[in-house]
Structure 1
Amino acid sequence: MPDESLKVFGIDLGTTYSAIAYVDETGRPAVCRNTDSLETTPSVVFFENESNVVVGSVAKNSAITYPDQVVSLIKREMGSEAVYDYHGTTYTPESISALILKQLAQDAATHTGGPATRAVITVPAYFGMLERTATKNAGQIAGLDVIGIVPEPVAAALHYEATTDAEDRTILVYDLGGGTFDTTAIRVSSDEIEVLCTDGDDHLGGADWDARLRDYLLQRFTESTGTDAEDDEEFMQSLATTAEETKKQLSRAESRPVALRGAGSSARVEVTRELFEHETRDLLDKTIDIVRRTLETLRDKRPGTTIDDVLLVGGSTKMPAVAERLRAEFGWEPKLHDPDLAVAKGAALYALGRVVHKEKQDAEDAGGTAEQVRERVAEAVGGVAAQTGISVRTLEGLAAKQTRNVLPKAFGVKLVDTSEPDWQSKPKRHYVHHLVHANDALPTEVRNLQAATVEEGQQGVEIELFEQSGVVAGPELAENKALNEGKGLIDGLPPMPVGSPVDIRMTVDAEGLLELNATEPSTGKSLDIKVRVSVRSDEEVAEAAKVVAGITVSS
């Protein structure tokens, strides 16, 4: 077996910063430094020309002079049908994310001295299946062999458990990243990491704190100089960078003077930590509300469960107000555990564990006597140990660690509202009936629904699948997203009266494959839908991969 098949990486594809890690020969996760010798890379893309794209700090700085050619916060658009046009080429959130991944892989190859093609990519716990599939598609477009998608808090918990021996504990992961926020309750034991429940907001993150401070600085600049600088693009981009740096400095200092120059004017603004926390208190309030919802869900699912440790993940949790507020509200002592890199390091551990697990599985599947199987498994793991320099004991531990996840968002079918007595005389009103719900354990149990026809003489039944799009599941169509390839028709039925039954069964497996069966019982005619939720077809992904392969990416 070639060494390259064992070289796997964990990628934290972040909204504002990304990182890539691997497990070194000592069995410890190590982060690959980029060309700037830094462990994190800004998730910013500068479309310099039709054949060259710049990713990272240079791209971020280019936003000041070329704002129309720079994309940031693209992670917030994952799973959407947004499109972008640069130099005559159309890009999607997946293909732009692929450019970031391509740069990370190049940096990893330089750092390790070999190819970086196999990886696990992390996603926010609260990403739905659309966003998760979009992330996997981004990896494929970048030319990576994506061997897994793992929730960020699971990766963080893996790293925490590996470095602290935190076994048989219930951990609450408070993950405030650059553009997303979620809280996840996780049970950590010697052989398993089980996600108990999760909640979050995929449009709330450190970038919102930056924007609030930017707006405050702009207001003070305008008041001090009498100058309206909002139309000065260079000034506004510079102001955004200044706001982010000031936020970081206020995590260490009580106040910072900020010098502002733009539109022919200048001003000096003193910003205190107290003022910053006051201006952003409502944002922190939102995270506390989500923590409360998570605890309520945990109480419903596992009555009597208590939180043993609170783990702070994501660079924005370095803001002192976060730990102070959690301490004041819940009496916890939160732990700031490698907040910038824990996710990437945990993903690297997860990735190597999956590779070793597969090697063991292949050895077991070859058959033979119990003794032959044991010998083959020992030989397989020993071979990995010999080629990676990692001890057999460490590899066995990684392979044995299982993860159990929950469904991040609800899925359901579109129905006609027949609740009103005179519904037949009114325009049809559609809604979504959810059969599987957020925080259901994966794989889900089979969920059944008996629907009914709504028209006299109806000879066909159309089934359409939807995924919850809002923070909280709701029945309105606007609160849900239709699934690509999640529609089908049972046709050729004899004319049926209103109210004829249609039996519907739905499950979601551990990997997110949704399966639905709908049957009209009198004829036995049925419809089967199997869908890995995605907004892009396989053909679109393949075409995007060709485009990205032809682009030179640099940092």
Structure 2
Amino acid sequence: MIVGIDLGTTHSLIGVHGPDGPRLIANALGSLLTPSVVSVGEHNEVIVGRAARERLVSHPQRSVAAFKRWMGTDRVTALGKHRFRPEELSALILKSLIADAEADLGHRIEEAVISVPAYFSDSQRKATRIAGELAGIKVERLINEPTAAALAYGLQQRDGGGRYLVFDLGGGTFDVSILELFDGIMEVHASAGDNFLGGEDFSQALLDAFLSEHGLAASQLALTELAILERRIEALKHDLARGSEVGLELTLAGQTRAWRVDEAAFARICEPLVQRLRAPLERAMRDAKLSPGQLDEIVLVGGASRMSLSARLVSRMFGRLPLRHVNPDEAIGLGACVAAGMKARDESLEEIILTDVCPHTLGVSTSRETHGRYTTGIFSPIIHRNSTVPVSRVERYFPTYDEQRAVEIEIYQGESPRVEHNVRLGMVSIDLPPKRRDENPIDVRFTYDINGLLQVEAVALSTGLKREVVLEKNPGVLSPDEIRQRLAALAAIKVHPREQQENIALIARAERLYEELLWAREQLQDALVQFRGALDLQDPELIAHHRAEFARYLDAIEAQA
């Protein structure tokens, strides 16, 4: 069986497609959502999920979140004695999800379909595949998150097809895709987005506004104080989705600070971010060559789409209310399950062809002569963004000078007219006979396949000499040898057993409340000692009893906070 996985910035989910349709699988704590957070304990053991999220407050230097934004880079995060790349942190989340699925299904999981932001670059997609490999699974397919959302809404089952815009605002990324359904085909016409815009940024805007109003800087606060403030701001943002005015009060830098904010103030604070949401929407519509009236439906997904300003923006721009009847936190996970079912050729699913597009423009660096001088570093596109893949395109170029013996063709990805602002992917060089430049043409062919592999072929037409390179590796992406080394290193790291997750999460929650609530510290300390003592006795019935009592006590304490 192939599982579907939503590997999210804030939360991740796993599920399968069965006789009754897509089904998400709960983790060891009974929740469908596993926080995408990793922490390292005092004995350098790895903690994943809810317990790790609680430790963002109590142990901020040993915990990390939102690392999906670093995928495709060589950034390294130090947690305790361990040093992790983004792929490894994601692999730890995947391993936790897979353990939950195996416990539920009763057999080993070896294959998965994983969702990725539509606007993820080539290197980010490769890093996601590597994360799966490090987690011990084969990634059968990467599916774009907006396409997964469309599957979750069952748009592929609608009679007569139609055109749909999917607005996907997650915790750390924003995607827009325009899809058309016809004759058993789900075709992506255009994708746009921002890999550094999501719910986390709206929370940060609120936090910055709070600090500014109170004359504080983040650098003035202790790490634990900042973590507590971040958590309270996140809760305040969620409360704003349910009420017109909310507030918070807490002690920072030795003083009690109170703050209230309403929807209008929130909209003012976040106006620059709303404008950043608008730009990809406009770009996708332009690239798809559509007007708002040509869309049949607009679908909102992603946890951050719950913010009222998301629906207001869409309603103003397109003159209609969006669809939002599927839980926005679960939509992409459910769609990944449907895609997994399709990949496994589930008989209950109609055959549908899913097309994709190249999210970024691919081209080469060229030079041009102006006013008797050569200007270098000019980007010459060969495959434009939103070209349906697989795609193969060729362009003809000439050497810069007469008698030139060789050319080095530098390959770039991006949307800037100057290559210095784009991402360099690699290079291919080819020898030339000594001729006049206009007698020495070179054809450069780019072929981009559905798995994100770019093949570049250069042919010197005067000699027939051919050179090619397949760009499987990007800057910041691990090589096969490095993957083997990291796989061995991850296997040696101790991870808390799944059956202990509930106990670990309760202890982490109590430690977080101890950090936050000065008035309850003595009682919390007593309760923690009692619970740890029960764990030491290793009596399952006694532990279960104390766990239930401890959880009820923490619920009561948090309700008073």
When normalised by structure 1's length, the TM-score is 0.84
Give matches, 1:462-501, under 5 Å: 462-468=408-414, 473-483=415-425, 486-491=426-431, 493-499=432-438, 500-501=440-441
1:355 matched to 2:338: no
Residue correspondences, number: 493
The structure-2 alpha-carbon separation of the partners of 1:194 and 1:84, relative to structure 1 and needing over 3 Å to count, comes to same
CA offset at residue 328 of structure 1?
2.3
Corresponding position: 1:106 with 2:99:
yes
Is this contact kept in 1: 2:189–2:288, CA < 8 A?
yes
Determine the C-alpha separation between the residues in 1 that align with 2:293 and 2:489.
Answer: 50
Partner deviation per Cα, 1:319-368 (whole Å, 9 max, x = no partner):
11211222123211101132111111111111121122xxxxxxxxxxxx
Distance 2:386 2:353 in 1: 18
1:360 is matched with none
2:522 corresponds to which residue? none
Distance 2:199 2:79 in 1: 27
What are the within-5 Å matches in structure 2 for residues 224-263 of structure 1? 230-263=220-253
Q: 2:302 aligns with which of 314, 322, 328?
A: 314
* Residue 258 to residue 163, structure 1, CA distance change in 2 (3 Å): farther
Contact kept? 1:98, 1:142, Cα under 8 Å: yes
CA shift, 1:402, in A, is 0.9
Q: Which of the numbers 394, 404, 423 marks the counterpart of 2:355?
A: 404
- Per-residue deviation, 1:87: 4.4
Which structure 1 residue ranges, 5 or more long, are not aligned?
1-6, 357-383, 385-391
Partner of 2:368: 418
The answer to whether structure 1 residue 547 and structure 2 residue 497 are counterparts is no
**Further displaced range: 287-296 or 148-157:** 287-296
Query: Using the alignment, how far apart are the partners of 1:330 and 1:303 within structure 2?
Result: 9
- 2: CA distance between counterparts of 1:231 and 1:243? 15
Q: Which residue of structure 1 lines up, in the alignment, with residue 276 of structure 2?
A: 286
Task: Report whether the alignment pairs 1:297 with 2:291.
Answer: no
Quote how far apart the aligned CAs of 1:479 are.
2.3
Q: 1:342 aligns to what?
A: 331
**What is the identity, as a one-letter code, of the residue corresponding to 1:464?**
E
Counterpart of 2:358 in structure 1: which amino acid? Answer: L
Rounded to whole Å, the distance in 2 between the matches of 1:69 and 1:443 is 43
SS of the residue aligned with 1:246? helix
Give me the whole-angstrom Cα distance separating, in 2, the residues matched to 1:76 and 1:411. Answer: 22
Mapped to 1, the partners of 2:484 and 2:272 lie a distance apart of 43
2:14 is equivalent to residue 20 of structure 1: yes
CA contact (8 A) 2:114 2:141 kept: yes
Q: Which residue of 2 aligns with 1:4?
A: none
Report whether the alignment pairs 1:330 with 2:318: yes
C-alpha separation in 2, matches of 1:533 and 1:194: 28
SS of residue matched to 1:352: helix
Asked whether the equivalents of residues 502 and 520 of structure 1 are also in contact (C-alpha less than 8 Å), the reply is yes
Does the 8 Å contact 1:44/1:59 carry over to 2? yes
The CA distance in 2 between the partners of 1:185 and 1:305, in whole Å, is 13
Q: CA 1:342–1:228 in structure 2 vs 1: closer, same or farther (change >3 Å)? A: closer
Query: Structure 2 CA distance, aligned partners of 1:29 and 1:162?
Result: 14
CA distance in 2, matches of 1:14, 1:174: 16
**Displacement of 1:170:** 1.0
| Match of residue 364 from structure 1 | none
Cα deviation 1:404-425 (Å, max 9, x = unaligned): 111101111222x22314225x
Mapped to 2, the partners of 1:304 and 1:31 lie a distance apart of 34
User: Corresponding residue for 1:365?
Assistant: none
Show the counterpart of 2:536.
Answer: none
Partner of 2:376: 429
- Write the letter of the residue equivalent to 2:262: T
Contact kept, 8 Å, 2:446 with 2:454, in 1: the verdict is yes
Q: 1:529 to 1:208 in 2, by over 3 A?
A: same
Q: Is the 8 A contact 2:429 2:467 kept in 1?
A: yes
Cα deviation digits, residues 513-539 of structure 1 (max 9, x gap): 222211112222110122235322122
After TM superposition, the structure 1 = structure 2 runs for residues 11-50 of structure 1, keeping only pairs within 5 Å, are: 11-26=5-20, 28-48=21-41
| Aligned residue identity for 1:407 | C
Partners in 1 of 2:114 and 2:493 — Cα distance? Answer: 22
The equivalent residue for 1:361 is none
Change (3 A) 1:101 1:501: same
1:269 aligns to what SS in structure 2? strand
Task: Decide whether the 8 Å contact of 2:156 with 2:186 is kept in 1.
Answer: no
> For residues 173 and 159 of structure 2, what CA distance do their matches in structure 1 show?
26
Deviates more, 1:31-40 or 1:83-92: 83-92
How many angstroms apart in 2 are the aligned matches of 1:220 and 1:506? 53
- Contact residue 99 and residue 553 of structure 1 kept, 8 A: no
Which of the numbers 144, 147, 164 marks the counterpart of 1:151? 144
Does the Cα contact within 8 Å between 1:173 and 1:185 map onto a contact in 2? yes
Paired letter, 2:14 = I
Distance of 1:528 and 1:49 partners within structure 2:
51
- C-alpha displacement of 1:512: 2.3
Does the CA-based 8 Å contact 1:183-1:290 persist in structure 2? yes
**CA deviation after TM superposition for structure 1 residue 543, in Å:** 1.9
How far has the Cα of 1:286 moved from its partner?
1.6
Partner of residue 460, structure 1: 406
| Pair 1:171 & 2:164 matched | yes
User: What is the CA–CA distance in structure 1 between the aligned matches of 2:444 and 2:213, rounded to whole Å?
Assistant: 59
Q: Name the SS of the counterpart of 1:418 in structure 2.
A: strand
2:51 corresponds to which letter in structure 1? V
Matched, 1:202 2:195: yes
Moved more, 53-62 or 404-413: 53-62
Tell me, in whole angstroms, the C-alpha distance in 2 between the residues paired with 1:265 and 1:166: 62
1:367-404 per-position Cα deviation (integer Å, ceiling 9, x unaligned): xxxxxxxxxxxxxxxxx7xxxxxxx4x14x1xx11101
Structure 2: distance between partners of 1:305 and 1:533:
42
Whether the 8 Å contact between 2:156 and 2:184 is mirrored in structure 1 is no
The equivalent residue for 2:132 is 139
2:479 aligned residue:
537
**Alpha-carbon deviation of 1:436?**
0.1
SS in 2 for 1:552: coil
| Contact 1:160–1:166 (CA under 8 A) maintained in structure 2 | no
Counterpart in the other structure of 2:59: 66
**Is 1:519 matched with 2:459?**
yes
Structure 1 residue matching 2:495: 3-state secondary structure:
strand
TM-score, with normalisation over the residues of structure 2? 0.83
Structure 1 SS opposite 2:69 = helix
Unaligned runs of 5+ in 2: 502-561
Superposition pairs of residues 112-123 of structure 1, within 5 angstroms: 112-123=105-116
- Corresponding residue of 1:447: 393
Superimposed CA distance per residue, residues 51-89 of structure 1 (whole angstroms, 9 cap, x where no aligned partner): 521111221221223222222111111112222344454
Distance 2:267 2:87 in 1: 35
Offset, 1:166: 6.5
